[in-house]
Structure 1
Amino acid sequence: MAMKMDLNTVIEQMATGDKDTALTALQSYNKEMNNSFTFSREEERDRMHLGELVLDFLNKDLEPSSQLACLKTVRILSRDKHCLVPFINRSAMSTLARYADIATGKQLDAILGLSWTDTLQPARAGFENMPAKELPPLSQQNTELAMEILKILFNLTFDTTTRKAEKEEAAGYRHLGAILRHCLMSHADGEEQTEEFHSHTVNLLGNLPLPCLDVLLMPQVQQGSTEYMGVNMDAAYMLLKFMEKRLDQGHKLKETLLPSLNLLTKSARIHSETRKYLRSKVLPPLRDVKNRPEIGSALRNKLVRLMTHIDTDVKDCAAEFLFVLCKENVLRFIKYTGYGNAAGLLAARGLLRAGSGPGIYSEDEDSETEEYREAKAHINPITGVVEEEQPNPMEGMTEEQKEYEAIKLVSMFNKLSRTNVIQPMQLGIDGKMRKMTLKDLETQAHNPLPEEPANSDSEDDA
């Protein structure tokens, strides 16, 4: 009961608006609650009210001692996950970022030791960077401070992908994108801390407006850079390696893998150079036609295995990435993953008829490998590999016997359908599934997938 009275007293004294009275109340509350990490559910509404009052005070002209008391109260109140509402709106985040002096990412420039040759267009001017292997490791203190800043900036920018950034905002985001590119190329003093640092970097990169991701490709190719088609692919290389490492770890894939996989998908969709580079690494010219697409240790095999993952988000994200690398071409997608693995994404998009996706891509040139071209006619489109030819089960039967077996099969399907054990389905002309009638069952034939045009599989397409 005493605790409740104390909190109410603090709120009453804060509500007076008098700075000296508020300071005394907050200092007393902070001292009492400094080591508290559990909170009463009955006081949730009061704690949220106190948080709102503190934020109002932070927007006033305060003495340093009052600012410090308010920020200490915010730290204490933010320990309660049920009372974060006052602190997670844009206005509150901007206020806190201003006190942390990170609203523009300057307190981050200093930590990373960045220098810009043009403050108005930092993304194009670039920073004075060395190849990644020559960058000295960040100290543990600077790494930890940088990660805290990245986490705060993530909360500040969490809604940027759902709205159009104004011109001035876009310039700031591209500045931030250039800083984050440098973060990707930097490393901490230790593998575990480096991975954590890169994880926060990837999370924040995923918040940037899509047009601002071009900063990842802008630095000039230098000695030691990863170059593809004359473009600096250091950032794409680092993202790909980070994604594969998370994939190999196999732990909580939804939380650990999806941020980097989603970012790679976005980058591949908006930048043709990035897509072509990623495709060369993930979906190189197909030569192995003996093993199923999900069998093996190559990155393609690992990603195809994810397409049947039990977690829907993981499954969909992996399929989307490969689909984009295939330029959203259904036949090519099936070629690299097998119809069985691809069916989930294609059904969700109404593309099971093997039509093309909505993406706009350039024409291709024929570049199928000799191995694939020779085996193409014998590849099972469901599994995506060459399989041994199976004996014809109707070999030796008379026409009357074949007709009898066909009628028997239709009768079985009809019986199961009428008793609601199964519901036979087929593709409609719109590419979506519809119920099969008895007439459909009697006339349905197994048709092979249409051939992919000979000029639709360029490995260096635009």
Structure 2
Amino acid sequence: MDLNQILAQLETANDEEIKSLLQQYNRENSHTFSFEKRKKACAKLCQSVLTVLGRQVQPSCQKTCLETLRILSRDKSVLAPVATRKGILGEDTQSEEEERVVVEALKCLCNVVYNSPAAQQVSVDVQLANGLCASLRNAREWHHEVGLFTLRLLFLLSALIPDLRGSLRREWRAVRLLREVLEHTLDVRWVGPYEAARPDPQALPMPAEDNERAMEVLKALFNLTLSDPGGEDDHQFRLIAALLRHLLMLKTETEEKQRKHTGDKSIQNRF
């Protein structure tokens, strides 16, 4: 369907009609990564979808809208409507009714933050990282994809905004929170102050989902430990070192995953 037709119909469509229109658009553009030739129209679509999300719409419609934003956010040239305080907060606050909506919102935010310096600044202004750290405290209750993309978004913020790393360490205790997520993910049993019990040699391989979560935690920790702040973080560093030793002894479901969680020596060497 022509994009101009979609834009015209969105203005008066109800929830089901919006969902149907955008689902068709999403199918047709599921493998599109550049919208340069339709930049203005796509920017208008981006704004229209945000307007829909600002209303009280059904979760299924929210999810479809967020899928559209995620597709559009692959191209930084159409991100202006999303890379605002209203856009960032809208995606965060309109998508908590159902897990699948939250996941789409997090995926979309990952794309937007990665592609837009303006969105990165807005994320700082609205203290998005603070909210993510608060979410880490409930990591035991996460569904897998919610946790995975929460961690990935925190990794992106800490990678793309170096000035944020100090606040994450000092004010929001992100190193400790991430260490606790890793400890829970690995199901560690401590046998000493800084010594984790060796894995049972007969234990099943580490589940793929746990492996994915552990990798996202380690990526974020890498960013936060690029410089050594010393002091109270020394205790956390020693605990993380013990967790890394434990991780290196775990079996994974495939050789590829084994290489991923043992192959990067950079963070290991830091501890």
The TM tier, using the shorter chain, reads: 0.5 to 0.7
Give secondary structure in 2 for the equivalent of 1:111: helix
Is 2:236 the counterpart of 1:338?
no
Distance in 2 separating the partners of 1:377 and 1:173: 50
Is 2:80 the counterpart of 1:217?
yes
After the TM superposition, which residues 195-344 of structure 1 pair with which residues of structure 2 at under 5 Å, given as runs? 196-208=60-72, 210-211=74-75, 213-217=76-80, 233=84, 236-247=85-96, 249=97, 251=98, 253=99, 255-283=100-128, 299-305=131-137, 307=139, 310-328=142-160, 329=162, 331-332=165-166, 333-335=168-170, 336-343=172-179, 344=214
Find 2:4's aligned residue among 106, 115, 125: 106
Aligned position for 2:186: none
Contact map agreement 1:177 1:216 (CA 8 A) in 2: yes
Deviation at 1:186, TM superposition (A): 3.8
Q: Which amino acid aligns with 1:305?
A: R
Deviation at 1:378, TM superposition (A): 5.5
Give secondary structure in 1 for the equivalent of 2:222: coil
Contact map agreement 2:67 2:104 (CA 8 A) in 1: yes
Distance in 2 separating the partners of 1:258 and 1:300: 14
Change (3 A) 1:349 1:323: closer
Aligned position for 1:347: 218
Deviation at 1:187, TM superposition (A): 6.4
Give secondary structure in 1 for the equivalent of 2:119: helix
Give secondary structure in 2 for the equivalent of 1:158: coil
Distance in 1 separating the partners of 2:225 and 2:79: 34
Give secondary structure in 2 for the equivalent of 1:262: helix
Q: Which amino acid aligns with 2:145?
A: D
Unaligned runs of 5+ in 2: 180-213, 238-247, 251-261
Contact map agreement 1:350 1:430 (CA 8 A) in 2: no
Q: Which amino acid aligns with 2:266?
A: G
Change (3 A) 1:381 1:176: farther
Deviation track 1:142-173 (CA, whole Å, cap 9, x = no partner) reads: x4323211001111111124xxx4xxx52226
Change (3 A) 1:242 1:208: closer
Distance in 2 separating the partners of 1:265 and 1:316: 11
Q: Which amino acid aligns with 1:313?
A: E
Give secondary structure in 2 for the equivalent of 1:159: coil
Deviation at 1:201, TM superposition (A): 1.8
Change (3 A) 1:432 1:152: same
Give secondary structure in 2 for the equivalent of 1:160: coil
Distance in 2 separating the partners of 1:209 and 1:352: 24
Give secondary structure in 2 for the equivalent of 1:184: helix
Distance in 1 separating the partners of 2:24 and 2:149: 26
**Higher helix share goes to which structure?**
2
Flag the structure with larger Rg.
Answer: 1
Deviation at 1:203, TM superposition (A): 0.6
Q: Which amino acid aligns with 1:105?
A: L
Contact map agreement 1:268 1:324 (CA 8 A) in 2: yes
Distance in 2 separating the partners of 1:429 and 1:200: 37
Identity %: 11
Contact map agreement 1:180 1:201 (CA 8 A) in 2: no
Aligned position for 1:157: 29
Ranked by relative contact order (alpha carbons within 8 Å, sequence separation 6 or more), the top structure is 2
Q: How many residues align?
A: 211
Contact map agreement 2:109 2:153 (CA 8 A) in 1: yes
After the TM superposition, which residues 408-427 of structure 1 pair with which residues of structure 2 at under 5 Å, given as runs? none
- Regions of 4+ moved over 6 Å: none
Is 2:56 the counterpart of 1:191?
yes
After the TM superposition, which residues 116-135 of structure 1 pair with which residues of structure 2 at under 5 Å, given as runs? none
After the TM superposition, which residues 357-396 of structure 1 pair with which residues of structure 2 at under 5 Å, given as runs? 382=236
Distance in 1 separating the partners of 2:127 and 2:263: 33
Q: Which amino acid aligns with 2:110?
A: T
Deviation at 1:429, TM superposition (A): 9.8
Find 1:430's aligned residue among 260, 265, 268: 265
Find 2:19's aligned residue among 117, 133, 147: 147
Unaligned runs of 5+ in 1: 1-101, 114-137, 220-231, 285-297, 357-375, 384-421, 435-446, 450-462
Distance in 1 separating the partners of 2:92 and 2:128: 15
Contact map agreement 1:307 1:315 (CA 8 A) in 2: yes
After the TM superposition, which residues 7-156 of structure 1 pair with which residues of structure 2 at under 5 Å, given as runs? 102=1, 104-113=2-11, 138=12, 140=14, 143-156=15-28
Aligned position for 1:368: none
Distance in 2 separating the partners of 1:173 and 1:337: 41
Aligned position for 1:19: none
Aligned position for 1:175: 41
Q: TM-score, normalised by structure 2?
A: 0.59
